[in-house]
Amino acid sequence: MTDKSKRINIDARSYTMILALVAIWVIFTALTGGGFLTPRNLSNLIRQMSITAILAIGMVLVMVAGHIDLSVGSVAGFTGALAAIMQVNYGWSTPMTIIVTLGVGLLIGLWQGFWIAYQGVPAFITTLSSMLVFRGAILLVTKGVTISPLSDSFKLVGQGYISPSISIILGIVGGILYLIFEMRSRQAKMKYGIDVSGWNAGIMRIIGVLLLISLFVGIMISYEGIPIPVLIVLGLVIVMTFIANNTTFGRYVYAIGGNREAAAYSGVNIKKTNMTIFLIMGLLSALAGIVLTSRLNAATTSAGTGFEMDAIASAIIGGTSTLGGVGTVPGAIIGALVMASIDNGMSLMNIDYSILTIVKGLVLVLAVWMDVSTKKRTV
């Protein structure tokens, strides 16, 4: 049983979006006289994308299970502010600050999960409430002032680079690990007597992935090396894709979103699964908050405003269904790249922020429309 859609874990909308992404890049490269496609700009682009990407990765899980989380922007802002306070006001070390901040994120996830999973309050209401609560909490803890500056080690999380030589080593190690993974999965398949024909397609895929890794590392070392927040995103993509596809929790998320009643009748613990989803979302929101504060080297009262919309839009552009049951982590990253590319390209062209916002809004509708109109209409 070799089926392409199974191996290449990206759906039709993501393919359309990869094409759209290429088109966007071509257009901006032309309009900026090549300025868009420089290693420096590409490095900036994916660094800018990283916060939205971290949130979008969690949002995929939330939305696949049929929920929504409107509070991620406020929670990222709040946890980011707490991190700044720990560092600036209390002089905590960077590792300590990060661990405690992530812990607060988990607690916030616990709070949301309690209402959504165990008390049956819809996620839309619960997270709308949290959006207000934590926006207020930011003002409360910062007393309305910007908190800065942060320690050098903390700034590394959002601003640092892996040096070019170590970037190359990471790239090589990544490539080798990937090869080992491919070989082992092939061996395991043969052990179970599963047909592994189509070896050519497999080789093509391996070459493709290795090329992609080389290209990525190549571009990054042409500037300063791999940005640390980008490395965090890459790690999350791998871990969360694995969780989504290869753990019982991940499959339960998809089952709940696809048909909650059938999942319940199949012995899926819906409450526990929903709780876990919001714990993960809380953790990722706090991580986004840490990266945000680190990048800005400050905690501001408006930090994180509107991030939830970027995260939701990225997930949707990347193929996540608003009705639940469908969506992938790599898709959401492509969605985040589309949004960030438009952001970045238009800024390079010095187009006004107002126009930029309008364009981003329209892209969301266009992306979903392209998907809907290419699908066959069914009744």
Q: How many CB atoms lie within 10 A of CB 188?
A: 11
The yes or no reply on residue 198 touching another protein (CB under 8 A) is no
The yes or no reply on residue 246 touching another protein (CB under 8 A) is yes
- Rounded Cα–Cα distance for residues 146 and 176 (Å): 45
Tell me the per-residue interface mask from 1 to 20 with another protein, x by CB under 8 A, - otherwise.
x-x-xx--------------
Q: Are 65 and 324 in contact (CB under 8 A)?
A: yes
Tell me the per-residue interface mask from 159 to 188 with another protein, x by CB under 8 A, - otherwise.
-----------------------------x
Stretch in the footprint of another protein (CB under 8 A) among 130-138, 142-150, 189-197, 219-227: 189-197
The first and second tokens of residue 368, run together, are 């979903």
Q: Letter for the amino acid at 230? A: V
The yes or no reply on residue 262 touching another protein (CB under 8 A) is yes
Q: How many CB atoms lie within 10 A of CB 147?
A: 22
The yes or no reply on residue 269 touching another protein (CB under 8 A) is yes
The yes or no reply on residue 251 touching another protein (CB under 8 A) is yes
- Going from the C-alpha of 229 to that of each of 25, 48, 186, 295, 376, the distances in angstroms are 22, 9, 33, 9, 40
Selected from 111, 114, 178, 249, the binder of another protein by CB under 8 A is: 249
**Sign of the C-alpha dihedral, residues 164, 166, 169, 175?**
negative
The first and second tokens of residue 60, run together, are 């995929």
Looking at the Cβ atoms of 99 and 264, the one nearer to another protein is: 264
- Rounded Cα–Cα distance for residues 153 and 187 (Å): 43
The yes or no reply on residue 193 touching another protein (CB under 8 A) is yes
Q: Letter for the amino acid at 306? A: G
Selected from 200, 267, 354, 373, the binder of another protein by CB under 8 A is: 267
DSSP 17-67: HHHHHHHHHHHHHHHTTTGGGSHHHHHHHHHHHHHHHHHHHHHHHHHHTT-
Selected from 261, 350, 354, 373, the binder of another protein by CB under 8 A is: 261
Counting residues that bind another protein (by CB under 8 A) gives 33
The yes or no reply on residue 254 touching another protein (CB under 8 A) is yes
The yes or no reply on residue 111 touching another protein (CB under 8 A) is no
Three-state secondary structure call for residue 161 = strand
Selected from 33, 144, 191, 373, the binder of another protein by CB under 8 A is: 191
Stretch in the footprint of another protein (CB under 8 A) among 108-116, 145-153, 190-198, 203-211: 190-198
Q: Are 155 and 205 in contact (CB under 8 A)?
A: no
For residue 188, the minimal CB distance to another protein (Å) is 5
Selected from 255, 275, 311, 315, the binder of another protein by CB under 8 A is: 255
The first and second tokens of residue 202, run together, are 């497999």
Selected from 89, 163, 165, 248, the binder of another protein by CB under 8 A is: 248
The yes or no reply on residue 379 touching another protein (CB under 8 A) is yes
Q: What is the DSSP letter of 93?
A: -
Stretch in the footprint of another protein (CB under 8 A) among 107-115, 167-175, 261-269, 279-287: 261-269
- Going from the C-alpha of 1 to that of each of 6, 39, 75, 104, 189, the distances in angstroms are 10, 42, 44, 46, 11
- Rounded Cα–Cα distance for residues 112 and 352 (Å): 37
- Going from the C-alpha of 20 to that of each of 205, 225, 320, the distances in angstroms are 22, 27, 17
Selected from 258, 356, 359, 368, the binder of another protein by CB under 8 A is: 258
Report 308-327 residues binding another protein (CB under 8 A). 325-326
Binding site for another protein (CB under 8 A): 1, 3, 5-6, 188-189, 191-194, 245-249, 251-252, 254-255, 258-259, 261-269, 325-326, 379
